[in-house]
């Protein structure tokens, strides 16, 4: 069983819809990342969080440490949000090894 | 602007040849990482380096080698011993410490024919 599970694997939405992508993990962590990967492959870090909630523009990320669960929300989705969204966790320890989920492919249609 | 540069973006090689992927960062980050991405799978760690002249194997190091002679550079060599080298390779870096974000390169898509 993968230590990081994302759902859904694929998500299709209409422009303007509210999007939620979920991430569950099975290990104790010190931080969780949400990453965005566009066609062509480059990855951008959207958020790094260890508790609570963070907001950047139309993107909101929340984490519940007790439930080992995080969500990424996109408000007023737009076709340019179409990408793969990846959850990654850093477990405790002295080095910085990330364990990645398999990603959620989001397609936003106009 | 600071960032990570991977080159080339696309690389084709014949089976049996070694190939070296470049990763350079000007972020003054201590740690650098190489990941491999295959369709339908999450990113998997190949090698990482936390300091110059030192590196450790990740989860799938077999068939790969790295060096860290300079802080800014962490090249990855895909050797002929790697049984299935065709993949997308990503380099990342971050500063030492638990609460620092990782930065990723644009990736190199390697195709072995």
**pLDDT tens across the length of chain B (113 residues):** 678 999 888 999 998 899 999 999 999 998 899 999 998 788 899 999 989 999 999 999 999 999 999 999 999 999 998 989 999 999 999 876 656 678 888 899 999 98
From B31, B42, B105, residue closest to A102, measured CB to CB: B42
Rounded distance between C-alpha atoms, residue A36 and residue A42, angstroms: 8
Are residues A47 and A62 in contact, defined by beta-carbon separation less than 8 angstroms?
no
Q: How many helices (H) and strands (E) does chain A have?
A: 0, 11
CA–CA min distance A48, chain B (Å) = 7
Phi, psi (degrees; rounded to nearest 5) at A87: -100, 135
Rounded distance between C-alpha atoms, residue B113 and residue B111, angstroms: 6
Q: Answer whether B98 sits within 8 Å of A86, measured CB to CB.
A: no
Residue B37: count of CB within 10 angstroms of its CB: 23
Rounded distance between C-alpha atoms, residue B49 and residue B14, angstroms: 28
Rounded distance between C-alpha atoms, residue A56 and residue B45, angstroms: 28
Answer whether residue A86 shows pLDDT above 70. yes
From A4, A97, A102, residue closest to B48, measured CB to CB: A97
- For residue range A5-26, what is the model confidence (pLDDT) as tens digits? 999 999 999 999 999 999 999 8
From A50, A96, A100, residue closest to B43, measured CB to CB: A100
Residue burial A27-51, b: 16+ Cβ < 10 Å; e: rest: eebebbbbbbbeeebbbebbbbbee
Answer whether residue A84 shows pLDDT above 90. yes
From B42, B50, B107, residue closest to A100, measured CB to CB: B42
Q: What is the pLDDT of residue B60?
A: 95
Q: Answer whether B43 sits within 8 Å of A88, measured CB to CB.
A: yes
Are residues A25 and A3 in contact, defined by beta-carbon separation less than 8 angstroms?
yes
**Which chain B residue is nearest to residue A9, measuring alpha carbons?**
B40
Q: How confident is the model at residue A96 (pLDDT cuts 50, 70, 90)?
A: low
Q: Which of A3, A46, A98, A103 to mutate to test the interface with B (most CBs of B within 10 A)?
A: A98
Answer whether residue A40 shows pLDDT above 90. no
Taking CB atoms and an 8 Å cutoff, what residues of chain A touch B110? none
- For residue range A45-79, what is the model confidence (pLDDT) as tens digits? 899 998 999 999 999 999 999 999 999 999 999 99
């Amino acid at each position: 069983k993968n230590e990081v599970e994302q759902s859904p694997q694929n998500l299709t939405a209409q422009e303007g819809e509210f999007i939620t992508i979920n991430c569950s993990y099975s290990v104790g962590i010190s931080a969780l990342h949400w990453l965005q990967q566009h066609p062509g492959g480059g990855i951008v870090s959207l958020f790094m969080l260890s508790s609570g909630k963070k907001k950047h523009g139309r993107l909101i990320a929340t984490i519940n440490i007790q439930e080992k669960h995080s969500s990424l929300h996109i408000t007023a989705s737009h076709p340019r949000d179409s990408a793969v969204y990846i959850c990654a966790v850093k477990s405790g320890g002295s080095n910085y090894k990330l364990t990645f989920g398999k990603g959620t492919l989001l397609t936003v249609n106009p | 602007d600071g960032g990570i540069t991977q080159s080339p973006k696309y690389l084709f090689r014949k089976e049996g040849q070694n190939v070296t992927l470049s990763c350079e960062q000007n972020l003054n980050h201590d740690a650098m990482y190489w990941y491999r991405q295959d369709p339908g799978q999450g990113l998997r760690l190949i090698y990482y380096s936390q300091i110059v002249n030192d590196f450790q194997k990740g989860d799938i190091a077999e068939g790969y080698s790295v060096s860290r002679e300079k802080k800014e550079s962490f090249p990855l060599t895909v050797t002929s011993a790697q049984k299935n080298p065709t993949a997308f390779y990503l380099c990342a870096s971050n500063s030492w410490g638990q609460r620092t974000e990782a930065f990723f390169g644009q990736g190199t898509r390697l195709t072995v024919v």
